[in-house]
């Protein structure tokens, strides 16, 4: 059934090599406000911007993974052809699953970026319903000859190359943004970036794909050091306004100032945004095609850095479980979209083909299956009903210090998607 849905969803596939027919090598960015509560959501347009660079592939214009809670699609208005699509997630979605969201509405900044169209297009935004199907929620026209848009970026900052291996359209482009590095700490920021990037490129499967990545750092200093920490009454004046205790989880360090994040990222071509927080407190966070955050000065920083990038880049779910599960995160009877967890509702379209036929499904977490690929119960924050591919993985804990084969494959597939 899911296969049929995928076919219908991607029915309009543009011919190979059509980037130049439809797009300029710049970004069209659409900022909007996503608001609502646990049962309702609303979209309000804010502004269009033309940005200097487009970091994405010129070949893979349609996302074939069907990852993410949300989706953006761009249609050529004249021919009604789908010419670009991408999945993504957001902090609004995570908040909407919390108890707080049952009590009041809240508004979050969101953005979609697409290649800059040459002709009139229709941009449509979709959100998954309870059955995981995409419902159209918002549509807007953009005509490059008529629609008003901003040309100028008010947040221009210098860019430092950390690792550049080729043209942006054929590489995974990561842009690193500094948070809580004060004016005389450029040297520290660049050193911290190199340390963490070196760890990433030493870690499987990234170790074999260093030449498929570009990494650039934007030097946007802060007035004060570190990040907000509400549990210790610490509030600092920083460029990206990050804070620990996001959604009341002490180690969850995110920012609500998403449009500012996009302004600063736009100084370089990028596919992925990485925010590096200048603190030794343990923490971070990441959401698929949204941004990643890692602290820079904690002993566990390199593992946090790699783990979080798994969420934002390859759409990987957390494979750990809590005693007090988020009940709303993964509904019973519904297959989640993330490649590395399953409810066994549609295991055929997950990693079933990687499992030895002699391994039982579900798989008992016994020493016999310590290194086996199977379906082990306890993942996606839930002890029951959600299964992971291996007993341990970097998406579950730092103990085994390795991605499971299913996560490795998802990362490799995504690298290929960007680098073709
Ligand atoms: Zn895994």
Centroid of ligand 1 to alpha carbon of 77 (angstroms): 41
Structural domain includes residue 183: yes
Same domain, 302 and 170: yes
Structure tokens at 14: 């543009």
Distance 420 CA to ligand 1 centre (A): 24
Residue at 241 is within a domain? yes
Find the mean pLDDT for residues 32-39: 97
Min mean pLDDT across 103-112, 125-134, 321-330 is at 321-330
pLDDT (tens digit, 9 = 90+) per residue, 69-85?
Answer: 999 999 999 999 999 99
Residue 8 pLDDT more than 50? Answer: no
Q: Could you write out the DSSP letters of every residue in 161-201?
A: EEE--S-GGGSEEEEEEEES-BTT-HHHHHHHHHHHHHHHH
pLDDT, tens only, 367-420: 999 999 999 999 999 999 999 999 999 999 999 899 999 999 999 999 999 998
Q: What is the 395 CA–ligand 1 centroid distance (Å)? A: 5
Q: Are 98 and 25 members of one domain?
A: yes
Length of the chain: 420
pLDDT at res. 1: 41
Q: Same structural domain for residues 70 and 175?
A: no
User: Count of domains in the chain?
Assistant: 2
Tens of pLDDT, residue by residue over 122-151, are: 999 999 998 999 999 999 999 999 999 999
pLDDT band at 331 (very low <50, low <70, confident <90, very high): confident
Alpha carbon of 331 to ligand 1 centroid (Å) = 20
Query: Domain boundary residue among 142, 168, 199?
Result: 142
- Using the predicted structure, report yes or no on whether residue 325 has a pLDDT greater than 60: no
> By residue range, what is the domain housing residue 36?
12-142
Predicted pLDDT at 2: 43
Q: What is the CATH number of the domain that holds 97?
A: 2.60.40.3250
pLDDT at 323 over 90: no
Q: How far apart are CA 354 and CA 119, in angstroms?
A: 44
pTM: predicted TM-score of the whole model, two decimal places: 0.94
For residue 184, is it within any domain? yes
Ligand 1 center–CA 330 separation, angstroms:
17
Task: Report yes or no on 192 lying in a domain.
Answer: yes
pLDDT of residue 337: 97
CA of 4 from ligand 1 middle (Å) equals 27
Let me know whether 96 and 193 are in one domain.
no
Give 328 Cα–ligand 1 centroid separation in angstroms.
22
pLDDT tens-digit series, residues 144-185 = 999 999 999 999 999 999 999 999 999 999 999 999 999 999
What does the mean pLDDT of the chain come to?
Answer: 94
- Ligand 1 centroid distance, CA of 390 (Å): 7
Confidence of residue 4 (pLDDT cuts 50, 70, 90): very low
Is 385 contained in some domain? no
Statement to judge: residues 311 and 194 lie in one domain = yes
| CATH number of the domain to which 230 belongs | 3.40.390.10
Among residues 315, 336, 364, the one where a domain terminates is 315
Please indicate, yes or no, whether residues 203 and 70 belong to a single structural domain of this protein: no
Are both 35 and 178 inside the same structural domain? no
- Asked if residue 295 lies in contact with residue 277, where contact means CB atoms within 8 angstroms, the answer is yes
> Radius of gyration (Cα) for the chain, nearest Å?
21
Domain edge (last residue) among 115, 142, 169:
142
pLDDT at 7: 45
Distance 345 CA to ligand 1 centre (A): 19
Q: Which helix (H) or strand (E) is 301 found in, with range?
A: helix 301-314
Mean pLDDT of 36-56: 97
pLDDT at 330: 83
Give the pLDDT score at 17. Answer: 62
As a whole number of angstroms, the distance between CA 117 and CA 25 comes to 9
Give the distance (Å) from ligand 1 centre to CA of residue 408. 7
CA of 40 to the centre of ligand 1 (A): 32
Is residue 359 a part of any domain in this protein? no
Please report whether residue 374 resides in a domain.
no
Q: Are residues 72 and 164 in the same domain?
A: no
What is the 319 CA–ligand 1 centroid distance (Å)?
7
Q: What integer pLDDT is reported at residue 243 of this predicted model?
A: 97
Do 108 and 37 share a structural domain? yes
Same domain, 91 and 164: no
Token pair of 359 as six digits: 């391994």
Domain shared by 186 and 272, yes or no: yes
């Amino acid at each position: 059934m899911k296969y049929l849905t995928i076919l219908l969803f991607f029915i309009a596939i543009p011919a190979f090599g059509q980037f130049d027919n439809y797009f300029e090598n710049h970004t069209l960015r659409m900022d909007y406000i996503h608001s609502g509560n646990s049962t309702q959501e609303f979209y309000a347009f804010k502004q269009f911007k033309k940005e200097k660079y487009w970091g994405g592939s010129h070949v893979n214009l349609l996302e074939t993974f069907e990852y993410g809670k949300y989706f953006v699609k761009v249609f050529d208005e004249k021919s009604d052809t789908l010419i670009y699509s991408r999945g993504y997630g957001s902090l609004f979605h995570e908040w909407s699953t919390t108890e707080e969201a049952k009590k009041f509405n809240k508004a979050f900044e969101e953005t979609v970026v697409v290649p800059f169209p040459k002709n009139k297009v229709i941009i449509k935004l979709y959100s998954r319903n309870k059955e995981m199907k995409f419902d159209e929620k918002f549509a807007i026209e953009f005509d490059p000859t008529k629609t008003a848009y901003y040309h100028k970026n008010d947040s221009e900052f210098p860019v430092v190359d950390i690792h550049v291996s080729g043209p942006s359209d054929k590489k995974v482009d990561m842009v690193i943004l500094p948070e809580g590095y004060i004016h005389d700490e450029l040297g520290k920021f660049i050193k911290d970036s190199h340390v963490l990037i070196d760890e990433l490129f030493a870690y499987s499967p990234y170790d074999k794909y260093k030449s498929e990545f570009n990494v650039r750092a934007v030097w946007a200093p802060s007035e004060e050091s570190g990040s907000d920490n509400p549990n210790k009454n610490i509030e600092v004046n920083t460029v990206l306004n990050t804070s620990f205790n996001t959604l009341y989880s002490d180690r969850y360090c995110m920012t609500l100032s998403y449009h500012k994040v996009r302004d600063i990222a736009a100084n370089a071509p990028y596919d992925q945004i990485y925010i590096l927080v200048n603190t030794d407190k343990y923490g971070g966070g990441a959401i698929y095609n949204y941004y990643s955050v890692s602290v820079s000065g904690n002993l566990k920083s390199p593992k946090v850095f790699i783990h979080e990038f798994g969420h934002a880049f390859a759409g990987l779910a957390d494979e750990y479980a809590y005693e007090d599960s988020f009940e709303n995160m993964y509904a019973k009877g519904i297959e989640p979209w993330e490649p590395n967890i399953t409810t066994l509702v549609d295991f055929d379209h997950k990693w079933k083909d990687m499992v030895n036929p002699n391994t039982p499904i579900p798989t008992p977490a016994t020493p016999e299956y310590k290194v086996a690929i199977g379906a082990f119960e306890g993942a996606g924050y839930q002890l029951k009903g959600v299964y992971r591919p291996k007993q341990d993985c970097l998406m579950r804990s730092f103990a085994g210090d390795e991605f499971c084969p299913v996560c490795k494959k998802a990362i490799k597939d995504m690298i290929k998607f960007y680098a073709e």
